[in-house]
A = this chain, B = another copy of it.
Amino acid sequence: MKFEAIAVEKIPLIHKGDDLPSLICERIELQDRDIVIIASTVVAKAEGEIFRLEDITPGEQALEIAARTGKDARFIQAVLARSREVFVEAPFMLVTTLAGHTCVNAGVDESNIEHGFLLYPSENPDSSALKLGEQLERLSGKKLSVIITDTNGRAFKIGQTGVAIGIFKIKPIKRWIGEKDLFGKILEITEEAVADELAGAANLLMGEGAGGIPVVIIRGIDYYCEGNTSINETYRPEDMDIIKKGLRCLQKKI
């Protein structure tokens, strides 16, 4: 049992309207049940999600947060516009995005883009994954899954890992509930977050800086599934999220 992770090399700098599926299929021969893993930065660039800092007018909340934290109010406004709740303001803004993803700066990115511009993640990464996936399947004639990835920090530890923010034809969580362990005991709770593990594996080849590998294929492990799937399935329900409750507790005290 084995799998490979293969970087799709020499993908050019991406601009609005670029046809990512064609660029991918020109550079690698896809096979059935390949998992095509695509960095959210190139998805956002192809979708034209680039905005100028100077075009952003900070609202009242952004100005207040800027006054408290010393950060650029226009950047803060960009983050707030994409967030449904702010949990931490400094030293970094931790928010839950409108799409339900909890991360720093709502995924708004100042790096890997020209100075003075911001790159916003897709509004609906599952929908972006679906469009890319359907086109990749059409061009290649193969059954494919797609994962759109970002890099996020995590609780309790420093450092960032690749994570899944949008999916197509893959279940994000593999459930082992009801299966037996090595001693025949029924496993009570095991849900393996395979989409995030695949995203992390791909990120090992993607690199954060000038390495510039925005697409990685994982081949040899079968998670292909027809039918609707959504990354929302991975987000913890609010009433079961004790860490959010803790962060809200702190905000009331401050």
User: Which residues of A pack against B, CB within 8 Å?
Assistant: 1-7, 9, 13, 88, 94, 96, 102, 111-115, 151, 154-162, 172-173, 176, 179-183, 185, 187, 190-194, 196-198, 200-201, 203-205, 207-210, 212-213, 221, 233-236, 241-250, 253
Q: With a CB–CB cut-off of 8 A, which chain B residues contact A94?
A: 242
CB–CB B208/A192 < 8 A: yes
Which of B151, B157, B162 lies in contact with A235, CB distance below 8 A? B157
Assess whether A210 is in contact with B179, with CB atoms less than 8 Å apart: yes
Contact status of A242 and B247, CB under 8 A, knowing A179-B210, A183-B113: yes
A78–chain B nearest beta-carbon distance, Å:
18
CA A88 to CA B246, docked complex, whole Å: 10
Question: B200 touching A161 by the CB < 8 A rule?
Answer: yes
Given A155-B243, A157-B236, A182-B210, also A192-B187 (CB < 8 A)? no
Q: Contacts A243-B246, A250-B242 given; indicate if A187 touches B209 (C-beta within 8 A).
A: yes
- In the complex, A207 Cα to B5 Cα: how many Å? 19
Q: A3 and B4: CB pair below 8 A?
A: yes
A243 touches B247 (CB 8 A): yes
Flag if B187 contacts A197 (CB, 8 Å).
no
Complex CA gap A212/B1 in Å reads 12
**Residues A198 and B204 in contact, CB atoms below 8 Å apart:** yes
Pair B88/A159 contact, Cβ less than 8 Å: no
- A37 CB to closest chain B CB, in angstroms? 12
**Cβ-defined contact, B2 with A158, below 8 A:** no
- Report B-chain residues with C-beta under 8 Å of the C-beta of A112: 181-183
From residue A192, how far is it (CB to closest CB) to chain B in Å?
A: 6
In the complex where A210-B182, A250-B245 touch, is A191 in contact with B236 (Cβ < 8 A)?
no
Whether the pair B4, A192 counts as a contact (CB closer than 8 A) is: no
Question: What is the distance, in angstroms, from A81's C-beta to the closest C-beta of chain B?
Answer: 21
Q: A5-B2, A159-B192, A246-B249 are in contact. Are A209 and B180 (CB under 8 A)?
A: yes
Q: Is the beta-carbon distance between A3 and B1 smaller than 8 angstroms?
A: no
Chain A to chain B contacts (Cβ below 8 Å), 6 pairs:
A2-B6, A3-B4, A13-B182, A102-B156, A181-B209, A246-B248
Which residues from chain B contact A9 at a C-beta distance below 8 Å? 1
- Assess whether A196 is in contact with B159, with CB atoms less than 8 Å apart: yes
| A210: contacting residue among B2, B162, B181, CB under 8 A | B181
* Contact residues in B for A191 (Cβ distance below 8 Å): 158-160
